[in-house]
Amino acid sequence: MAQEVMARQELIEVTNPATLEKVAQVPVASTEEVKQAVARARHAFAQWKDRPVRERVEYLYAARDWLVDHKDEVIDTICSETGKPRTEALLAEVFYCCDALTFYAKNAERFLRDDSRSLHLLKNKKVYVSYQPLGVVGIISPWNYPFTLTFGEAVPALVAGNAVIIKPSEITPLSGVLTSRIFREVGLPSDLIQTLCGYGEAGAALVDECDMIAFTGSVETGKKVAARAAQRLIPVLLELGGKDPLIVLKDADLERAANACVWGAFSNSGQICISIERVYVEEPVYDAFVSKVLEKTKQLRQGTEQTYGQVDIGSMTMPEQIEIVEHHVRDAVQKGAKVLWGGKRNSKLKGLFYEPTVLVDVDHSMEIMREETFGPVLPIMKVKNVEEALRLANDSIYGLAASVWTKDKSLGANFARKLEAANVCINDCIANYMAIEAPYGGMKESGLGRRHGEWGIRQFCQPQTVLIDRFGLRREPFWYPYNAKIARWVERSMKLLYRRGLRAKLRS
């Protein structure tokens, strides 16, 4: 046993979850190695932060060229440690990262330039906001999208002027290692981006040493990260779990809704924070909708993929996660749910494959309607009306994403405003994440902070407000000594500027 513990501390064995083959070993970083890495990063940051943004941007374009030229190697790496189809690795990881590089390369100077503000009161002053890099940013990334949520997170942090240290998931460390290698090979100054593999101890050490932490993962671990970061009062970006509802109203285009529902629930084997995890359908269209979903689910192809387009669903990635899926389905069936399709591991395939599963006769007494399943399971519930759909959709500790389906776009927009979700699609799903111009994040227990847009780069900065006097008077009217004349002038100004007589009107 002691030898096994020692081996665990020294090396992580990476297993392909689709084939169960060992594909690589990576060293585990100690707490002391984390401290040393942060020290090196601080030294690199001291020079990097003063470089003009336009110079930093050149490394983004170089990294984009590298990705395009080496896309097959990147896809091989992703698939070897996640078991996802090559098509999904191409679309949701490599393509996304190329787009993120392009977006921040084109917009970084605009997002980071000094931002002048017009003052309504202090007309004799000028004010601007300067965006200063924070220092060393620690990125603790997950296993479901190990490249997108590592490389894609590092890009805005770097171009904002920070150094970056990555602690990838111990399940999928190879994508994190590859991220550092890419920037190293395009000539990024040494130690500006480093990858340290390890377990929880390495992540905790990163929280203890860095100037900001960006974490993507479970609510339970996210709360621990936030609590530890709070001891040092450093900022955190947390994207945590989701239990995202899809609501089908009676006037919806059922064909489009069913196609989206199947893709949104089973993409990446359901291992997406914003995947469709529960469905509410108005009673008049419930049977027709379920029939369409079942028909489309039966046509899905599951397995491994050597070339694009061979399969639709790959394996799950983490052994513990497939056990959670099995537990949720078992709990639902014991409480009265009915399995229309799937409901078990795929015995025809070697790895961690769980069949795409459709459940009906579900309700909120079941774990599958309340807890994050994070697997290829689609529970569908009949509701009487719009009001019940809204109430059930909001009956959750999570608030990451949701989608509503209706031909009445005004109704859809009004419904969206009432949904307790930070990202809402109308007649679409999951697409919020690709709308990179707009902020993306969570409410409730789904997280803090926002990715994308100007939020996605400025969150890696410390805003500094700079006020400049215009005229250089020897004394401001409000400086010492105070006098009654100034006080009376302020009182008259308050009545003129701020009193509108609304109190009496509101009372009447």
CA distances from 318 to 32, 74, 105, 212, 275 (A): 28, 20, 34, 28, 17
Q: Which of 34-43, 62-71, 468-477 has the lowest mean pLDDT?
A: 468-477
Please enumerate in sequence order all residues whose Cβ is within 8 A of that of 164, keeping only pairs 6 or more positions apart, or say none: 41, 136, 137, 138, 139, 154, 157, 158, 192, 193, 194
Residue 111 CA to residue 115 CA, distance in Å, equals: 9
Q: What is the pLDDT of residue 499?
A: 83
Mean pLDDT of 228-256: 98
Q: How much of the chain, in percent, has pLDDT values that exceed 70?
A: 97
| pLDDT tens-digit map of 171-183 | 999 999 999 999 9
Please enumerate in sequence order all residues whose Cβ is within 8 A of that of 376, keeping only pairs 6 or more positions apart, or say none: 265, 266, 269, 270, 313, 316, 325, 342, 354, 355, 356, 357
- Classify residue 427 by burial, with Cβ atoms within 10 Å: 0-12, 13-18, 19+: middle
**What DSSP letter does each residue of 445-495 carry, written as one string?**
TTEESEESHHHHHHTTEEEEEEEEESS--SS-TTSSSP-HHHHHHHHHHHH
Closest CA to 324 of 268, 266, 358, 371: 371
Please enumerate in sequence order all residues whose Cβ is within 8 A of that of 423, keeping only pairs 6 or more positions apart, or say none: 274, 400, 401, 402, 432, 433, 440, 441
Q: What is the pLDDT of residue 303?
A: 97
Three-point CA angle 166, 167, 169, nearest 5°: 130
pTM of the model: 0.94
Question: Which residues in 258-305 belong to E strands, given as ranges?
Answer: 276-282
Q: Which of 219-228, 377-386, 404-413, 472-481 has the lowest mean pLDDT?
A: 472-481
Question: Contact at 8 Å (CB) between 211 and 157?
Answer: no
Q: What is the dihedral of CA 423, 428, 430, 436, to 10 degrees?
A: -70
Residue with tokens 């941007």, as numbered in its chain = 57
Residue 222 CA to residue 201 CA, distance in Å, equals: 15
Classify 166 in phi/psi space as left (phi over 0), alpha (psi -120 to 50) or beta. beta
Residue 319 CA to residue 340 CA, distance in Å, equals: 25
- For residue 222, pLDDT over 90 is answered with yes
Q: What is the pLDDT of residue 14?
A: 98
Q: Which of 7-21, 69-83, 275-289, 363-377 has the lowest mean pLDDT?
A: 7-21
Q: Which of 259-263, 272-276, 477-481 has the lowest mean pLDDT?
A: 477-481
- Classify residue 433 by burial, with Cβ atoms within 10 Å: 0-12, 13-18, 19+: buried
Mean pLDDT of 256-285: 98
Per-residue H/E/C for 357-389 = EEEECCCCCCHHHCCCCCCCEEEEEEECCHHHH
Catalytic residues: 239, 273
Question: Which residues in 89-124 belong to E strands, given as ranges?
Answer: 115-117
| pLDDT tens-digit map of 311-326 | 999 999 999 999 999 9
Please enumerate in sequence order all residues whose Cβ is within 8 A of that of 377, keeping only pairs 6 or more positions apart, or say none: 265, 270, 325, 328, 329, 342, 354, 357, 359, 368
The residues that bridge with 423 in the sheet, in sequence order, are: 401
Mean pLDDT of 322-348: 98
- For residue 505, pLDDT over 80 is answered with no
Three-point CA angle 260, 261, 266, nearest 5°: 105
Classify 83 in phi/psi space as left (phi over 0), alpha (psi -120 to 50) or beta. left
Question: Contact at 8 Å (CB) between 194 and 40?
Answer: yes
Please enumerate in sequence order all residues whose Cβ is within 8 A of that of 390, keeping only pairs 6 or more positions apart, or say none: 247, 415, 418, 419
- For residue 451, pLDDT over 60 is answered with yes
- For residue 27, pLDDT over 60 is answered with yes
Three-point CA angle 399, 404, 410, nearest 5°: 115
Q: What is the pLDDT of residue 500?
A: 76
| pLDDT tens-digit map of 134-150 | 999 999 999 999 999 99
| pLDDT tens-digit map of 100-127 | 999 999 999 999 999 999 999 999 999 9
Neighbour tally for 201: CB within 10 Å: 14
| pLDDT tens-digit map of 366-382 | 999 999 999 999 999 99
- For residue 131, pLDDT over 90 is answered with yes
503: pLDDT confidence band, cut at 50, 70 and 90?
low
Rg (CA), the chain: 26
Three-point CA angle 165, 152, 22, nearest 5°: 75
Neighbour tally for 434: CB within 10 Å: 14
Q: How much of the chain, in percent, has pLDDT values that exceed 90?
A: 94
Mean pLDDT of 418-443: 97
- For residue 1, pLDDT over 70 is answered with no
- For residue 9, pLDDT over 70 is answered with no
Q: What's the mean per-residue pLDDT of the chain?
A: 96
Domains delineated in the chain: 2-240+452-463 (3.40.605.10), 244-440 (3.40.309.10)
Lay out the sheet containing 447-448: strands in order across: 193-195, 163-167, 136-140, 212-216, 236-239, 447-448
- For residue 187, pLDDT over 60 is answered with yes
DSSP secondary structure letter of residue 431:
G
